[in-house]
Amino acid sequence: MLARRGPSKKKILILGGTIGLVWVTIGVVVYRSFVAKPAPQPAPAVVVPVGSSPVEPGTALPQAPSTFNLEILRDDKLIKLKLYGEVPLEVKALGRPDPFSLINP
């Protein structure tokens, strides 16, 4: 009779190595997710206002009005832009006709 042959040593080593690699990968993921300590948080910044009088908590500091330089809009590259189409746009139709109007009148 024919004798049954078992798996070769090469196949056993490949299978064992693959299973070992899977277990190592699972272990690293679990360690990094649950066991490892989180990174320390940086200390909060301390803001000290500069001035002669201390600021009381709950009071707002006066601020100067904000300004925006509109000279940037007068750039030659922006002036040379061409206008294509009509302005303002006219909307002729919104969407398409209702496909269910024939089913539920």
**Residue 97 domain-assigned?**
no
The full length of the chain comes to 105
**Residue 31 domain-assigned?**
yes
Q: Which amino acid, 58?
A: G
**Residue 20 domain-assigned?**
yes
* Model pLDDT for residues 63-81, shown as the tens digit of each residue: 777 777 888 888 888 888 8
**Residue 18 domain-assigned?**
yes
**Residue 22 domain-assigned?**
yes
pTM for the full predicted model: 0.34
**Residue 85 domain-assigned?**
no
Q: Residue 89 in contact with residue 95, Cβ under 8 Å?
A: no
The helix/strand/coil state of 22 is helix
**Total structural domains within the chain:** 1
**Residue 30 domain-assigned?**
yes
Sign of the dihedral defined by the CA atoms of residues 53, 54, 56, 62, in that order: positive
Domain encompassing residue 12: 7-37
* Model pLDDT for residues 11-40, shown as the tens digit of each residue: 999 999 999 999 999 999 998 888 767 777
With a CB cutoff of 8 Å and minimum separation 6, the contacts of 49 are 55, 61
